[in-house]
Amino acid sequence: MGDFQLEGLCKKVVELSEEVGQFIMVERSRFEREDIEYKGTNDMVSYVDKTSEKMIVEKLSDFLPEAGFIAEEGTGTRNEGGYNWIIDPLDGTTNFIHGIPTFAISIALAKGEELLLGVVHEPNRKESFYAWKGGGAYLNGNKIKTSPEPELSRGLIATGFPYQNFQLMEGYMNALQHLMQACHGLRRIGAAAIDLAYVAAGRFEGFFEYDLKPWDVAAGGLIVKEAGGVVTNFYGGDEFIFKGQIIASCQGVTEELTDLIKNNFKGI
């Protein structure tokens, strides 16, 4: 697949995410709490997630018939070693359910563990962040870059609170205590895809979280990389999609943020 084809495919995925985003916003206006289903402790889903995923899978199957799917709600079949779409049809379901206007659609294409394109669409602000390998990163058609800030003390850092795995709380709280004193502040939006998109756009200098799934990080991770940022696991390794942990940052804060996480999350 050449660069020109990849760019065209990426733009089709952007259009699809915007269509699905319109559906989600219509459903948000009439969503009721009794529509919630529980997959596990604090792990919620609704007909909106499921319907959105079906809409996405159906269209993506037309775009690239040979690709499989790694999707949060289990639609489609994974293509081992080949092309796979990695999909979160509604990242930030808890925000959606509680009426907090911060949630997104996240779609990535990978071949094995090589990310080829990523799209994060946030329908409340009508913002589409996207990138394809080697093509740079964009927001609504305009090229974006990570923050130029040279050090952590001048940065705003995002994270996600654990909601199921509480075994690492001591290290997590120690890291938060340090960051509260070492940077401009901490933010917890509640949707990792948006956190990553905001790092790519220079709104955050860094983001870290553990206990994540591939669909939480694949699209946003590529967008950060194409925007000039650094994306690793908690030990500075390149593999983050299936690792369950991620650090994404602009160049200027990477070393300090990575050292902090390494020191506080040993052995995971």
39: confidence class by pLDDT, cuts 50, 70, 90: low
Write out the residue range of the structural domain in which residue 190 sits: 152-264
45 bridge partner residues: 37
Q: Strand 206-210 and strand 156-159: pairing?
A: parallel
Residue range 204-220, pLDDT digits in tens: 999 999 999 999 999 99
Say yes or no: 84 and 129 in one domain.
yes
- Closest Cα partner for 149 from 46, 254, 234, 67? 254
Helix, coil or strand: residue 182: helix
2: confidence class by pLDDT, cuts 50, 70, 90: very low
Residue 232: phi and psi, rounded to 5, are -145, 175
- What is the domain count for the chain? 2
Say yes or no: 9 and 130 in one domain.
yes
Binding residues for Mg(2+): 72, 88, 90-91, 216
- Closest Cα partner for 14 from 104, 95, 96? 104
Say yes or no: 65 and 100 in one domain.
yes
| pLDDT at residue 190, rounded to an integer | 95
Residue 149: phi and psi, rounded to 5, are -55, 135
Residue range 226-263, pLDDT digits in tens: 999 999 999 999 999 999 999 999 999 999 999 999 99
Tell whether pTM > 0.75.
Answer: yes
The CATH number that applies at residue 46 is: 3.30.540.10
Residue range 154-172, pLDDT digits in tens: 999 999 987 666 677 888 8
